[in-house]
């Protein structure tokens, strides 16, 4: 906290301080830390380097809280932002806030998936992955697969496939079956997502089916 008083005008120092504050306060829901990061984000709105880190820090502090006020502030600020880095960071931070919340996150997911801003829709895929992490929820899997094939943005498509790994890491045998067709897609973003999903969801398992798919992608 003292570092913010001595950072001067260095964006890089603010960036590091914001990430550091988020990490040391991770999942504490400490309002003082959250407020400091929020004010940093709001007061440095024109600096994407600072804004990106402050946004991530906010999500880290409020990890798994599902706090309605935090969500409203993040959504509102993302709508007012012009910097893609900051909007993307706010989207991923919303996912952190909704970690483990499952159905409680559905309204936010639907709102973000319906956004005209592809960066917000990108964040929505991570909200699905975090809210339902490890559950292998059939409903969540369907949403991700639908977005992977129907969204107009390649970034969103890639994020949707990646989050299949977060969703199913406790049942790693499902993942190769889910991504095998995407792994041979003409779209390189889908192939990229399939590779990362396998890496996340099958890490440390020695899953032979996953290795076969990755060998074809290499």
DSSP 152: S
Q: Where does 8-117 have alpha helices with state H?
A: 11-24, 31-43, 48-61, 68-80, 84-97, 106-113
The half-sphere exposure of 134 on its side-chain side, counting CA atoms within 13 A, is 4
Give per-residue pLDDT as tens, 1-10: 888 777 777 8
Give per-residue pLDDT as tens, 14-35: 999 999 999 999 999 999 999 9
**pLDDT over 80 (residue 145):** yes
Query: Which of 52, 62, 91 has the alpha carbon at shortest distance from 75?
Result: 91
Q: What is the pLDDT of residue 1?
A: 83
Give per-residue pLDDT as tens, 45-67: 788 999 999 999 999 999 999 99
As a CATH number, domain 99-218 is: 1.25.10.10
Token duo for residue 62: 């409020």
Q: Average pLDDT, stretch 164-192?
A: 95
Cβ neighbours of 215 (radius 10 Å) = 8
| pLDDT band for position 163 (cuts 50, 70, 90) | very high
**pLDDT > 90: what percent of the chain?**
89
Token duo for residue 123: 């964040």
Token duo for residue 11: 């964006």
Q: Which pTM does this prediction carry?
A: 0.93
Domain positions in the chain are: 1-97, 99-218
Whether 18 and 56 have beta carbons less than 8 Å apart is answered as yes
């Amino acid at each position: 906290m003292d570092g913010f008083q001595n950072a001067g005008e260095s964006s890089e120092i603010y960036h590091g301080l914001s990430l550091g504050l988020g990490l040391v306060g991770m999942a504490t829901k400490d309002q003082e830390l959250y407020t400091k990061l929020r004010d940093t984000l709001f007061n440095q709105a024109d600096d994407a380097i600072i804004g990106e880190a402050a946004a991530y820090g906010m999500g880290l502090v409020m990890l798994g809280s599902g706090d309605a006020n935090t969500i409203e502030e993040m959504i509102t600020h993302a709508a007012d932002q012009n910097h893609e880095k900051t909007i993307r960071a706010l989207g991923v931070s919303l996912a952190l806030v909704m970690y483990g919340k499952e159905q409680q996150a559905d309204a936010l997911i639907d709102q973000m998936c319906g956004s005209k801003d592809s960066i917000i829709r990108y964040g929505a895929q991570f909200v699905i992955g975090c809210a339902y992490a490890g559950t292998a929820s059939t409903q969540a899997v369907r949403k991700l697969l639908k977005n992977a094939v129907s969204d107009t943005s390649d970034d969103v498509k890639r994020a949707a496939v990646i989050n299949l790994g977060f969703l199913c890491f406790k049942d790693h045998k499902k993942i190769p079956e889910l991504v095998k067709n995407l792994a041979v897609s003409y779209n390189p973003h889908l192939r990229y997502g399939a590779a990362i999903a396998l890496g996340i969801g099958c890490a440390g398992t020695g899953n032979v089916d996953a290795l076969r798919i990755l060998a074809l992608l290499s």
